Structure 1
Amino acid sequence: MTLDLPAVTAALTTVPALPDGDTAALAAAVRTQADRQAIQDLCALYARAVDDHDIDALVAMYAADGVFERRGVPAAGSDAIRAAYVASFDSYRTMLHTPHPGVVALHGDGTASGWSHGHAELATRSTLVLASYRYEDAYRCAEGRWRFARRSITFMYAVPADRLATSFGGTDRIRWPRTSPEPADYPETAPTWDSYHR
């Protein structure tokens, strides 16, 4: 996803003044903050559910027609989402996801979008994989509850712990156990990656 970072930064960091005595505007501002907090809580609770292997909680965090996408491979609908997470849980005995703060843009129609990033330690039976990931999200509010309409994950790196130092400086930073090295999903693919040379 291409992100116009200067425009998004300006939009999300500019606080409009509220007209004096406009209770409707104040109520709308309070609702905006409540919606943003609910979405941020959803993302934090998601990380806990993944680490606890709480499959029912995870599936319930998605809309009924939601999509979980991992590196371009989508799982659509509750059954497919459940299967995707079960496969991950079967591969990694112990997982620790540390989400970092993200941003949320409300669209005013019960939908929102956002992105966040984080780090993870993922233990298989034979090795520890270290990963840095980014989520691009679409959210939907129904009956007062925010859920994921789509959650897409990509990776800056995913490598066995003993290979991080030797692989981090290269582009082939996706090195899941028993797979051939692959190029990282970002940041080299960003259209701005080399733009500072202009």
Structure 2
Amino acid sequence: MRLDLPAVTAELTTAAPADSGLTALAAAVRAQADRQAIADLGVLYARAVDDHDVDSVVAMYTDDGVFERRGAAATGREAIRAAYVASFDTYRTMLHTPHPGVVRLQGDGTASGWSHGHAELATSSTLVLASFRYEDDYRCEGGRWRFARRSITFMYAVPADQLATSFGSVERVRWPRTAPEAADYPETSPTWESYRG
């Protein structure tokens, strides 16, 4: 379940539990433990990707999991493995810095959320700088939270020597040896121009 605009706006305030009884307290503690486990999953994912630990990355997905990069989906663990191996073969050194996100627990062993981060990605000849968002669906299986779907989009992905000249442009996705493309956000957000009335 993706976080649409009203859902993001709703996350700007945090509701207090309806009552202060033990049942509500136990549910709040459980929810916090689940949110922390999901936050840990995101941090462990970044470390595994940076270490090119493909087995750990793949194990973070459900058997029917999906990894989607700018609309191109890899479904199932073998396809997910192949997608990450291709990335690892392209980028010799990676540093992903995840930032805090938002998680919405569904109450049935599933959750959805989003987070963002930055990365430095080195090919044999170029350093690419990137800012990205993940839209995630999670599922708890056997007491462990995993990605059911992880979708990445980019605010920018450009060679380091082009960041200053490309940042003000809409075409901020400039992977090496490819034509510049429009960034995935924020210009596509329905709020981007709305404040101008």
| TM-score normalized with structure 1 length | 0.95
How far the C-alpha of 1:192 sits from its partner, in A, is 0.6
| 2:147 alignment partner in structure 1 | 148
Write the deviation string for residues 99-158 of structure 1: whole angstroms up to 9, x where unpaired: 111010001011000000000000000010000000000000111110000000000000
Percent sequence identity over matched residues?
Answer: 75
Across the aligned residues of Structure 1 and Structure 2, the Cα RMSD in angstroms comes to 1.0
Is the CA contact (8 Å cut-off) linking 2:156 and 2:183 kept in structure 1?
yes
| 1:62 alignment partner in structure 2 | 61
Distance 1:155 1:56 in 2: 25
Matched residue of 1:108: which SS?
coil
Structure 2 residue ranges without an equivalent (≥5): none
Matched residue of 1:125: which SS?
coil
Write the deviation string for residues 16-60 of structure 1: whole angstroms up to 9, x where unpaired: 2532xx222211111011000000000010000000000000000
| TM-score normalized with structure 2 length | 0.96
In the alignment, residue 95 of structure 2 is paired with which amino acid?
L
In the alignment, residue 72 of structure 1 is paired with which amino acid?
G
| 1:134 alignment partner in structure 2 | 133
| 1:45 alignment partner in structure 2 | 44
How many residues are treated as equivalent by the alignment? 194
Matched residue of 1:95: which SS?
strand
Task: Please state if 1:114 is matched with 2:113.
Answer: yes
Alignment of 1:152-167 (within 5 A): 152-167=151-166
Structure 1 residue ranges without an equivalent (≥5): none
Distance 1:61 1:14 in 2: 30
| 1:182 alignment partner in structure 2 | 181
Distance 1:170 1:25 in 2: 49
| 2:72 alignment partner in structure 1 | 73
Distance 1:26 1:163 in 2: 51
Matched residue of 1:39: which SS?
helix
| 1:8 alignment partner in structure 2 | 11
Matched residue of 2:12: which SS?
helix
| 1:172 alignment partner in structure 2 | 171
How far the C-alpha of 1:159 sits from its partner, in A, is 0.3
Distance 2:85 2:62 in 1: 18
Distance 1:63 1:160 in 2: 33
Matched residue of 2:5: which SS?
coil
